[in-house]
Chain A
Amino acid sequence: MKIWKRIVSVLLILVMVTGGIYVGDKLTTRGVSQRKYVKFFAEPNEYDVVFYGSSHVLSGIQPMELWKNYGITSFNLGGHAASLGMSYWVLRQSLKYHKPRLAILDIYDMYAHDQPYMDISFMHYSMDAYPMSITKFMAVQDLLKDRSTAAKAELFFPFSVYHSRWDEVTEESAKAAFDSGFFNSYSGSEIRYGVAVPNAIERVKPGDTMEGSEGADTYIRDFVTACRDAGVEVCFMRVPYPACVENQMAENRVMKLAEEMGVRVIDLMKGTDKDEMLSSVVVNWDTDLVDANAHLNAVGAFKVTMYLGKLLQQYYGFRDKREEAAYSNWNDDYANVYIPALNADMLLQTDFKTCLMFAAYPEFETEMTVTGDYEPDEVCEMLYKLHGSRLNVTRVQSIDAPEVQDRADYDMDGEAMAPGTVISEQAVPVVRMTVKLRDSGAVVCDKLFCR
């Protein structure tokens, strides 16, 4: 009897502690990874395309626009600061859930580090959502070869890191933690907002390559092999960015390797002519970047996605599934998840150029009332062109709009302001921007920019 009492006692403690850890984990976890993967895991159909790579692909491709415009189903599994090794292991893990027809790997930064390389803090983004498995174990062992067991343990037991966030738990975050309705609204991708002045670019000849680590070569080969073994077609892609000489040389090396392996490379960075990279066929460096040397902004991502969609149809002949009943969930997501998310993001923007850039999305149409103080620069003029006929500008003497929803600083330097910034009541209104949904005419936002 005594022994049973003791066993029950220990079990009781174990159950209570396990339950407590479960609740604590739910409450304190960042959940970005889980929210990213909810839709990916739940998708009943096989994807046409899954994207792998770093933040370049994460913010450079919009799966929902691929669906809306081409009827191609896709998911973006790019990760922040994801190294080549990380992309390989994301592929290995994701293949357990979906075997898309095509896996596309972005070739940015493949030789930047001796592979395997991965910053442990960024690994959570791509790993936390996956349950413990042998593949996950192997991934951590491989990517954190030289790290201590304790360091590796945080990937298997993320609570060891997140428990320190107990002081960030609020009533709202607690509710969200137990609500499965929170997920990434952009099918894995992340839209970036801002308009940046790009770095100067020096063109490198295709034959100029650099020495890179053999570790990276091995991962590239392994990525291709893993895809082929799973019956998934594979292709490489270069998302446009103002690449420095070293990066271009490294990418040339990858392209050479791809040629050897018989892998297609979709180069979205190619210029209009051989020597002039600044005049890209896909993006306009002056309007489409969110930072000087790396990432595309919303409109840049839109352009790249549209261009890529055309090529994918051309190269792989994906059929348009927009009318198929089995894919009705994609239309629902577009209307009920994607568009509301775009609207919410539009509402949050406070920087003038960013708003002008984002409003260029084909889903929107814009009315702008400006005073004589409004002085558009060249970039604004270029952004106007993106809107085409969906922008209507009216000049007035002064703007009196107490009913306007938001007031923001009129800022022409491209620096985005933090959401919620309060502008002085004395500031003089210069521009009023009203963005509406093109289909329904519903007002998405009504912003006042003051000098």
Chain B
Amino acid sequence: MIFNSLGFLVFFPIVLLVYYVVPKFLQNFWLLLSSYWFYMSWNPRYGLLLLGVTVLTYIAGLIIGKDSHATWGNPDEDGRISADFYSKVSRSRRNIEIKAVSGREKKQRAVLTLTLCIIFGLLCFYKYTDFLAVNMVKLLERIGLFVEFDHFDIVMPVGISFFTFQAAGYLIDVYREEIPSEKNFLRYALFVSFFPSILAGPIGRAPSLMPQYSRTREFDWNRVCSGFMLMLWGFFLKLVIADRAAILVNFVYQNYHELYGWAIVLATVIYAFEIYCDFCGYSIIATGAANMLGVAFMENFDCPYFSVSVQDFWRRWHISLSGWFRDYLYFPLGGSRCNFLRRYFNVMVVFVVSGLWHGSQWSYVVWGGLNGLYQIIGGILTPVRTLLLRIFGFDKNVLSLKKNPAMAGSMKIYSSIEPTTDVVTPWEKKALSKKRRSDEEDSESGYSDEDIRASLRVSSGLAAWQTEEAKRGHLRTGVFGIRIGEGELSFRSVKMSILKLIRILITFVLIDFAWLFFRAAGLRDALMMIERVKNNFGFSEISLSGIYELGLNERNFWLLMICIAILFLSDYVKYHGGNIRKWILQRPMFLREFIIAVSILVILVFGIWGNSYDASSFIYFQY
């Protein structure tokens, strides 16, 4: 069962209705039952695997967290953990090594290692056995040993990459004493298997989710409406944009031998939007569904194509996965608190592993490696870039997101602006002093600004400050709730805007080039496509009529362009702190209902669904 299926259309309303009708103490049980039903609709046997991983990690969690003094945080209604909790987390992270040497019992460490080996072993078995065998056979062929090999018939359980990561993250958090172990099996099983996120994320974090499952969740009309609107937006992204874009992209990527280079470039640009809308669409539908059930997920995408650098992109793209790799792989490797060679090595490890996580093909490894390489080259060239920009009259801090908030989106602007004294209230002073203290502690720790900022992004203190500020009117609110802060106005120089635009475009080109490897059927295809773009671009053959022969007719192509423009507008508003969904829900009756009804109709009429098209699955299901 996938979100864009008839089954889900029946399943979800039933789940929702029963969920709010049954006694509160049965809510988690009902959700667990529904989640297993949802998951087992793919293949009942997978349910056993899910149960096995759940039981194993539950028991391991109990053993590892036996003597833990950690306590649960208290996430707000958006699932965000308070700044207090995360500052404790930071301390905890800094103490990892000390604990490992002195305090931590060997038994607990052994249990953690063994459990992680088992669940990652399972993941590797399902995902990489064939890949490894094929490469082994090829390697043997190189040295003259020919082995008869037929591919293994291993069907990877859907969602395994997501729920194993979620469970692993929980265990490591328990081990680090950031959270206590969960004693209630029902609650823990729900944490691992909650149906909106089990197939393709977002990869939830126990500190945010577990306390939410402990609370009883009352029916909240506004929350249900908001969740429903989110789901609509997700379906729009998936059915109207992603699946329409897929028609053109699939056509070009399957027939690139017969097409000019410009068609490959066009398809690759459109693929950037396809994969964004596909995966972001899934995440948003999942978040909307969870919201309707009273559970808040972390935001998984934050206007990624507005990123001004590849590093910035990876803080905005698939945030739950990037965050996972950051917290459970990059930091333990040493993060950036080491010499530059080791730092670059760490970056490459994270991105190559991320590439492998996305698929057992060399093209994914190249894709991950390319993204890592971008960041390394970017880091090496920073002095050169800064020098060049200073020649053009820019400040020496122009490339720093933290020191030059004009380069970042609204969240970053607000987290960096320090209000003048006349607008500071005692509450704001407290929030800011906390932030400063946290900044100081972080700078002592040896983590880079970016590392710390990434952690702070989930912190709600500043967001709350931002909200309070807006409430007091110090931040003006425009259409769609776009916040026009006084601080922001000072950054609005044309020169800065042009620089920002250039950085955004360069980042997009780099990221999009990497997507070519991600989408191509294999590494050889990707290289052949690049070759074709280089040698047979066909400038003189570029025409609109030529575009209409790439799988989408004229009307469908222009509809796709209009929808991408809508997506751009939506992200632009969000980037500047606005919220279209909230804006719609605040409209007067009739207008609000009219907008919602039109949205539904747009999805129904222009969406790629039904039997005339083979509704394509969400791309991230295969990971």
- Which residues on A are within 8 Å of B, measured CB to CB? 5-6, 8-9, 12-13, 16-17, 20-21, 24, 28, 120, 149-151, 153-154, 159-164, 166-167
Identify which of B590, B601, B607, B610 contacts A20 (C-beta below 8 A): B601
Per the bound structure, the CA–CA distance linking A151 and B612 in Å amounts to: 10
B596 at the interface (CB under 8 A from A): yes
In the bound complex, how far is the Cα of B390 from the Cα of A398, in angstroms? 87
| CB pair A13 B600 closer than 8 Å | yes
Interface assignment of B606: CB less than 8 Å from any CB of chain A: yes
Cβ of B597: which chain A residues have Cβ within 8 Å of it? 12-13, 16-17, 20
Partner of B600, one of A17, A154, A162: A17
- Taking a contact as CB atoms under 8 Å apart, the answer to whether B605 and A151 are in contact is no
> A12-B589, A24-B605, A167-B553 given. 16 additional CB < 8 A pairs?
A5-B589, A8-B589, A9-B592, A17-B601, A20-B598, A149-B6, A150-B5, A159-B604, A161-B612, A162-B612, A163-B604, A163-B605, A163-B607, A164-B612, A164-B613, A167-B555
Find the A residue at minimum CB distance from B615. A150
Taking a contact as CB atoms closer than 8 A, the residue among B6, B7, B598, B608 that contacts A164 in the complex is: B608
CA–CA, A20 and B604, complex, Å: 10
Q: Is B30 an interface residue (CB 8 A)?
A: no
Question: Chain B contacts of A9 at CB under 8 A?
Answer: 589, 592-593
A166 near B606 with CB under 8 A, answer yes
| The 3 residue pairs across chains A and B that have the minimum distance between CB atoms | A16-B597, A160-B610, A167-B555
Bound Cα distance A20, B599 (Å): 11
Known contacts A9-B589, A16-B594, A24-B605: A164-B600 contact under CB 8 Å: no
Verify A163–B610 contact, CB threshold 8 A: yes
Question: How far is it, in angstroms, between the C-alpha of A359 and the C-alpha of B372 when the chains are bound?
Answer: 76
Return A449 CB to nearest CB of chain B, in Å: 34
Is B149 among interface residues, defined by CB-CB distance under 8 A? no
Point out the residues of chain B lying under 8 angstroms from A8, CB to CB: 589
Contact with A along B607-623 (1 / 0, CB 8 A): 11111110000000000
A304 CB to closest chain B CB (Å) equals 36
B556 in the interface (beta carbon within 8 A): yes
B221 within 8 A of A: yes
A9 to chain B, nearest CB (A): 6
Known: A20-B601, A153-B6. A160 touches B611 (CB 8 A): yes
Given A21-B601, A161-B612, verify A167-B593 contact (CB < 8 Å): no
CB distance from B21 to the nearest CB of A (A): 16
Contacts of A161 in B (CB 8 A): 610-612
Contact of A16 among B5, B593, B607, B613 (CB under 8 A): B593
Alpha-carbon distance between A24 and B612 when the two chains are bound, in angstroms:
16
Instruction: Judge whether B605 and A154 touch: CB under 8 Å.
Output: no
Q: A13-B600, A17-B597, A24-B605 are in contact. Are A6 and B610 (CB under 8 A)?
A: no
Nearest opposing residue in chain A for B611, CB measure: A154
Q: Which of A5, A149, A151, A167 has the most CB of B within 10 A?
A: A167
Given contacts A5-B589, A12-B597, A13-B600, contact A167 B611 (CB under 8 A): no
For the complex formed, measure the closest distance between the CB of A168 and the CB atoms of chain B, giving whole angstroms.
9
What are 19 A-B residue pairs whose CB atoms fall within 8 Å in the complex?
Answer: A6-B221, A9-B593, A12-B590, A12-B593, A13-B597, A16-B593, A16-B594, A17-B601, A20-B598, A20-B604, A150-B6, A153-B6, A160-B609, A161-B611, A162-B612, A163-B604, A164-B610, A164-B612, A167-B555
- Once the chains bind, are B610 and A13 in contact (CB under 8 Å)? no
User: Which residues of chain B (552-582) have a CB below 8 Å from chain A?
Assistant: 553, 555-556, 559
- CB contacts (< 8 Å) of A153 on chain B: these are 6
Give Cα distance in the complex from A13 to B589, angstroms: 11
A167 and B610 CA atoms in complex are apart in Å by 16
Indicate if the CB atoms of B605 and A120 lie closer than 8 Å: no
Chain A, Cβ-Cβ closest to B5: A150
Chain B residues near A166 (CB, 8 Å)? 555, 605-606
Q: What B residues does A164 contact at CB under 8 A?
A: 608, 610, 612-613
With both beta carbons as reference points, the residue of chain B lying nearest to A120 in the complex is identified as B611
Q: Are A151's CB and B611's CB within 8 A?
A: yes
Q: Do A13 and B6 have beta carbons less than 8 Å apart?
A: no
A53 CA / B608 CA spacing, docked (Å): 34
The complex places the Cα of A84 from the Cα of B575 at a distance, in Å, of: 61
Given the known inter-chain contacts A6-B221, A12-B593, A167-B556, please indicate yes or no for A154 contacting B601, CB distance below 8 A.
Answer: no
Tell me the minimal C-beta distance from A137 to chain B in angstroms. Answer: 16
| Most-contacted residue by chain B among A12, A24, A120, A153 (CB, 10 A) | A12
Determine the distance from Cα of A348 to Cα of B598 in the docked complex, in whole angstroms: 42
Closest residue to A28 on the B side, CB-wise? Answer: B605
Nearest residue (CB) in B for A5 is B589
Chain A residues positioned under 8 Å from B590 (CB to CB): 12
User: Smallest distance from the beta carbon of A181 to chain B beta carbons, Å?
Assistant: 26
* Assembled-state Cα–Cα distance A12/B592 (Å): 10
* Distance between Cα atoms of A163 and B609 in the complex (Å): 9
Chain A hits for B556, CB < 8 A? 167
CB neighbours (8 Å) of A28 from chain B are: 605
The answer to whether A154 and B553 touch (CB under 8 A), given A6-B221, A12-B597, is no
In the assembled complex, the Cα of A20 lies from the Cα of B611 at a distance in Å of 21
Select from chain B the residue with minimum beta-carbon distance to A2: B221
Tell me the complex Cα distance, A160–B601, Å: 12
Contact between B610 and A154 (Cβ–Cβ < 8 Å)? Answer: yes
A270 to B589, CA, bound (A): 73
CB neighbours (8 Å) of A159 from chain B are: 604
Assuming A13-B597, A150-B611, is B604 touching A24 (CB within 8 A)?
Answer: yes
Q: Which A residues lie within 8 Å of B221 (CB)? A: 6
- Identity of the chain A residue whose Cβ is nearest the Cβ of B590 in the assembled complex: A12
A residues less than 8 Å from B5 (CB atoms): 150
Are B609 and A13 in contact (CB-based, < 8 A)? no
Q: Could you tell me the distance in whole angstroms from the C-beta of B16 to the nearest C-beta in chain A?
A: 13
Please measure, in the bound complex, the distance between the C-alpha atom of A164 and the C-alpha atom of B607, giving whole angstroms: 8
CB neighbours (8 Å) of A160 from chain B are 609-611
CB distance from B549 to the nearest CB of A (A): 15
The residues of A that contact B598 with a CB separation of less than 8 Å are 16, 20
Complex: how many Å from CA A103 to CA B307?
71
- Chain B contacts for A12, CB-based, 8 A: 589-590, 593, 597
A154 partner residues in chain B, CB cutoff 8 A:
610-611
The smallest C-beta distance from B100 to any residue of chain A, in angstroms, reads 53
